[in-house]
Amino acid sequence: PLAEHLTVFGYVETELFVGSSAPDTDFTVKLVDVSPDGTSWNIADTIQRMRYRDGLEKQIFMKPGEIYRIAPPPMLVANVFLKGHRVRIEVSSSNFPSYARSLNTANDPYKSTEIAVARNTVVSGPGRPSKIALPVVKLPSGR
């Protein structure tokens, strides 16, 4: 739990080192405010479809066993996480219906009916520092 209020204002940057058993999948990130009673509010979210990680012009599929660095689009945030609350980051492979589902295949996701299970991994450690950067703002005392 936070010892004092935490003001976050600006773009939240995400850098992840990821892998998958599938040729294509999504990695989603949510910033969540969790109150002491467990109630949670989604503050912001973002997504990266892996076939488009290097741009929308060309589809590049993943290879099993390889690790890729991705930086999903930044999340614009203006929130005060109150004292006693927690900041939660959720990394997943789906945020349906907010974003179109991924079939986890190399097929056309809008025409294909084939669906595969993706076994996804997020790596963090030396040389692969998966991270979330919060733009914390210090307010004057008394606010």
d(CA 135, CA 13): 9
Locus of tokens 């990130």: 29
Structure tokens, 85: 């609350």
pLDDT above 80 for 143: no
The CA distance from 126 to 133, in Å, is 17
β-bridge mates for residue 19, sequence order = 121
Q: How far apart are CA 67 and CA 77, in angstroms?
A: 29
Contact present, 5 and 81 (Cβ < 8 Å): yes
Report pLDDT digits (tens) over 70-127: 999 999 999 999 999 999 999 999 998 999 999 999 999 889 999 999 999 999 999 9
List 27's β-bridge partners, or say none.
48
Count the Cβ atoms, other than its own, within 10 Å of residue 24: 23
pLDDT of the residue at 139: 80
Of 112, 83, 89, 114, which Cα lies nearest the Cα of 32? 89
Render pLDDT for 20-59 as a digit per residue (tens, 0 to 9): 999 999 999 999 999 999 999 999 999 999 999 999 999 9
Label residue 142 by pLDDT band (50, 70, 90).
low
